[in-house]
């Protein structure tokens, strides 16, 4: 007997949302019931209906529906945090989405609201906090701690035993050497090497 998919509502309709839709459609866990978006003038994104804006959250919360924040993050995480607070106030369930094309060690953990995108690697004893984006082809090595609301961008390499504090952004193709501590709300530029 085929297992029923969980319903999911995506919050934010920009470029990150488009990538997330593709990942969810290629997996077997979630059924997208719609998108909440304030500034998009289209009525759908990749064929998925825009239901309205964030004000609909309370009426969409139920036992069979999960939510994922699909607003991207570059300069700071304030928008993602604000949406997260609304979800928490309404007792909404956050999804954890892992691309079928990603590798997450059985000895790693990924908390609610986070997404592990295509061709990313999360190795043993690494911990990914809440509402994080582990973007396409990023490499999270052994023993890494990534706190809540971080975005590890495309092709970034985070080597063993690194700690990345809350709200940080690691740019595309950045490399963080073993054992480095990245302070809260840091922005590491694309291509930067941190040792």
- Rounded to two decimals, the pTM is 0.95
| Dihedral over Cα of 65, 15, 20, 50: its sign | positive
Residue 1 has pLDDT above 70, yes or no: no
- Positions annotated as catalytic residues are 142
Q: Is 1 exposed, middle or buried (0-12, 13-18, 19+ CB in 10 A)?
A: exposed
Q: Do domains 6-95 and 98-195 have the same CATH topology?
A: no
For the chain, what are the domain ranges?
Answer: 6-95, 98-195
CATH topology of domain 6-95: Rossmann fold (3.40.50)
Q: What is the mean pLDDT of residues 80-97?
A: 96
d(CA 95, CA 23): 13
**Would you state the pLDDT for residue 4?**
85
CATH architecture for segment(s) 98-195: 3 Solenoid (2.160)
| 7-50 pLDDT, tens digit each | 999 999 999 999 999 999 999 999 999 999 987 677 899 999 99
Cβ 24 vs Cβ 32: under 8 Å: yes
Q: What is the mean pLDDT of residues 164-192?
A: 97
């Amino acid at each position: 007997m085929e297992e029923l998919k969980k319903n999911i509502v995506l919050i934010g309709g920009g470029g990150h949302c488009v990538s997330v839709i593709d990942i969810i459609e290629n997996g077997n866990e979630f059924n997208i019931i719609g998108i909440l978006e304030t500034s998009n003038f289209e009525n759908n994104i990749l064929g998925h209906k825009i239901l309205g804006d964030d004000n609909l959250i309370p009426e969409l919360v139920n036992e069979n529906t999960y939510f994922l924040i699909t607003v991207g993050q570059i300069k700071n995480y304030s928008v993602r945090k604000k949406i997260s607070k609304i979800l928490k106030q309404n007792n909404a369930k956050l999804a954890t989405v892992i691309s079928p094309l990603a590798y997450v060690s059985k000895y790693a953990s990924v908390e609610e609201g986070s997404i592990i995108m295509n061709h990313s690697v999360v190795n043993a004893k690494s911990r990914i906090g809440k509402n994080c984006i582990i973007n396409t082809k990023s490499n999270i090595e052994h023993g890494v701690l990534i706190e809540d609301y971080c975005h590890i961008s495309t092709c970034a390499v985070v080597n063993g035993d690194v700690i990345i504090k809350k709200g940080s952004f690691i740019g595309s193709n950045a490399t963080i050497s073993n054992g480095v501590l990245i302070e809260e709300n840091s922005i590491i530029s694309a291509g930067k090497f941190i040792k």
